[in-house]
Structure 1
Amino acid sequence: MRKPLLHTKVTVKLRKSIFREEWYIYIESYPVHNPGSTKPKRVIEAVNRTITTPIWDMTAISKINEDGNYKYKPKRDSNGIIQCQSQLDKEACRYADKVRALRQQEYDTAVVCSDREQEMIAQNERSEQDFIAYFNSIIYKCHPNSSDSIITNWTRVGKLLSIYSKGKPIPFKSISGKLLEDIKLFMLSAPRGGNKKGTLSQNSAATYFSIVKAGLHRAFIDEYLTVDIAAKVKGIPDVKVKRETLTLEEAEKLASTPCENEVLKRAFFFAVLTGIRLCDIQDLTWGEIVQTGSGWRVDFTQRKTHVVDYLPINEQAYSLCGERGEQNQRVFEGLTGSSWISRPLKKWIEASGIKKHITFHCLSHNRNFYCLNINELRTIKNVTANDLETSYILFLSQLCNIP
Structure 2
Amino acid sequence: MKISLRKKKLASGRTSLYLEYYLGSCIDNNGKKKHNRRFEYLKIYLHGEPTTAIEKKENKEALQLAQNILTLKNSELIKGKFNIEDTNKGKTPFLEFYNKLKDDRYESKSNYDNWEAALKHLERYCLPHLKLKDVDENFVKGFKSYLQNEARTIGGSPLSQNTKYTYFNKFKAVLREAFNEGYLKNNVLKSVKGFNQGESKREYLTYSELQALSESKCKHPILKKAFIFSCLTGLRWSDINKMKWSEVRDEDDNFRIIFRQQKTDGLEYLYISDQARSLLGKRESQNDRVFKGLKYGAHFNAEILRWCMRAGITKHITFHSARHTNAVLLLENGADIYTVSKRLGHKELRTTEIYAKIIDTKMKEAANSIPILKFS
Change in 2 beyond 3 A, CA 1:192/1:318? farther
Regions of 4+ moved over 4 Å: 114-118, 383-389
Q: How many residues align?
A: 262
Residue 137 of structure 1 pairs with residue 97 of structure 2: no
Residue 163 of structure 1 pairs with residue 124 of structure 2: yes
TM-aligned CA deviation for residue 225 of structure 1: 1.3
Aligned residue in 2 for 1:204: 163
Aligned residue in 2 for 1:20: none
TM-aligned CA deviation for residue 132 of structure 1: 1.1
Measured in 2, the distance between the counterparts of 1:307 and 1:367 equals 20
> Residues 323-370 of structure 1: CA distance to partner in whole angstroms, max 9, x if unpaired?
221101000000001444101111111221111111121222346423
* Contiguous gaps of at least 5 residues in structure 1: 1-113, 378-382, 390-403
Residue 182 of structure 1 pairs with residue 182 of structure 2: no
Change in 2 beyond 3 A, CA 1:115/1:187? closer
Identity %: 31
Paired residue type of 2:91: E
Paired residue type of 1:202: Q
Structure ID, larger Rg: 1
8 Å CA contact retained: 2:150, 2:158: yes
TM-aligned CA deviation for residue 230 of structure 1: 3.4
Aligned residue in 2 for 1:364: 323
Aligned residue in 1 for 2:302: 343
How do residues 367-378 of structure 1 correspond to structure 2 at under 5 angstroms? 368-370=327-329, 374=332
Aligned residue in 1 for 2:132: 172
Task: Please report the TM-score for the alignment, with normalisation by the length of structure 2.
Answer: 0.64
RMSD: 2.7
What SS does structure 2 have at the residue aligned with 1:300?
strand
Aligned residue in 1 for 2:45: none
Measured in 2, the distance between the counterparts of 1:386 and 1:183 equals 39
* Contiguous gaps of at least 5 residues in structure 2: 1-78, 341-376
Residue 229 of structure 1 pairs with residue 185 of structure 2: no
Residue 252 of structure 1 pairs with residue 211 of structure 2: yes
Aligned residue in 2 for 1:100: none
How do residues 324-339 of structure 1 correspond to structure 2 at under 5 angstroms? 324-339=283-298
What SS does structure 2 have at the residue aligned with 1:357?
coil
Measured in 1, the distance between the counterparts of 2:266 and 2:190 equals 28
Measured in 2, the distance between the counterparts of 1:247 and 1:136 equals 42
Aligned residue in 1 for 2:50: none
Task: Please report the TM-score for the alignment, with normalisation by the length of structure 1.
Answer: 0.60
Aligned residue in 1 for 2:175: 216
Aligned residue in 2 for 1:111: none
Change in 2 beyond 3 A, CA 1:326/1:225? same
> Residues 128-158 of structure 1: CA distance to partner in whole angstroms, max 9, x if unpaired?
22111110122122442306xx222111211
Paired residue type of 1:221: N
Change in 2 beyond 3 A, CA 1:271/1:182? same
